[in-house]
């Protein structure tokens, strides 16, 4: 396997800053999020990339634009996990009625199941691996964490182990034929 996958999480939005689950709500980046995205440009410019895929959401497309990634291909499969009834709600608020809830371990009423997320992200993995080059994907926190799990042939729930900040980049590839994380969560730190 010689394919590489560079993951870029979008810059900050009002809801990401507040810890509110954001999937289908098309929020813009905050001013800080736009600055974060611009700060990615010189780093990403140093990478050799064969193609750029991007979630259809405004926050991901704007991050790609500000980071200097011209004309990315919109990829519906990179959209954020559909949070259904939990759209706009924080984990602490959900846990008031569902103790211990996480997107990784519990159902999402009216949203996607882990199996549905795995199915669409498996299409991304297959597409990247069949390209034999370097693909850069701009997307979201949970979908990218789930994507790394699928890259490593793990269940989506194992994405819980890969904390991912806004406006960071990571790289997936292989180590002597075994899928591997090569670089993780590079950029701004909390």
Nearest to 187, CA basis, from 10, 17, 56: 10
Task: Report pTM.
Answer: 0.95
* Integer Cα distance of 124 and 77 in angstroms: 7
The fold adopted by the segment(s) 4-187 is Rossmann fold (3.40.50)
What residue spans define the domains of the chain? 4-187
Q: How confident is the model at residue 70 (pLDDT cuts 50, 70, 90)?
A: confident
pLDDT tens, position by position, 25-61:
999 999 999 999 999 999 999 999 999 999 999 999 9
SS3 138: strand
What's the full length of the chain, in residues? Answer: 190
* Integer Cα distance of 82 and 62 in angstroms: 20
Q: How confident is the model at residue 190 (pLDDT cuts 50, 70, 90)?
A: very low
Per-residue pLDDT, averaged over 93-113, amounts to: 97
pLDDT tens, position by position, 110-155:
999 999 999 999 999 999 999 889 999 999 999 999 999 999 999 9
Q: Catalytic site residue 161?
A: no
Out of 12, 34, 36, 80, which one is annotated catalytic? Answer: 80
Q: Catalytic site residue 73?
A: no
- The residues, ordered by sequence, that sit 6+ positions from 148 with a Cβ below 8 Å of its Cβ are 7, 159, 162, 170, 172, 181
């Amino acid at each position: 396997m010689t394919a590489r996958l560079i993951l870029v999480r979008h810059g900050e939005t009002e809801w990401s800053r507040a810890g509110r689950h954001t999937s289908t709500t098309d929020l813009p980046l905050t001013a800080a999020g736009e600055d974060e995205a611009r700060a990615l440009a010189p780093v990403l410019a140093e990478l050799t990339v064969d193609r750029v895929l991007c979630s259809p959401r405004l926050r991901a497309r704007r991050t790609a634009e500000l980071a200097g990634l011209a004309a990315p291909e919109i990829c519906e499969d990179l959209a954020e996990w559909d949070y259904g009834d939990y759209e706009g709600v924080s984990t602490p608020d959900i846990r008031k009625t569902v103790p211990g809830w996480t997107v990784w371990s519990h159902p999402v009423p009216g949203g996607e199941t882990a199996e549905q997320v795995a199915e669409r992200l498996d299409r991304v993995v297959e597409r990247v691996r069949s390209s034999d080059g370097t693909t850069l994907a701009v997307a979201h926190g949970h979908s990218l964490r789930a994507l790394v799990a699928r890259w490593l042939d793990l269940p989506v729930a194992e994405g819980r182990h890969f904390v991912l900040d806004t406006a960071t980049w990571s790289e997936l590839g292989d180590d002597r034929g075994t899928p591997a994380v090569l670089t993780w969560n590079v950029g701004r730190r909390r």
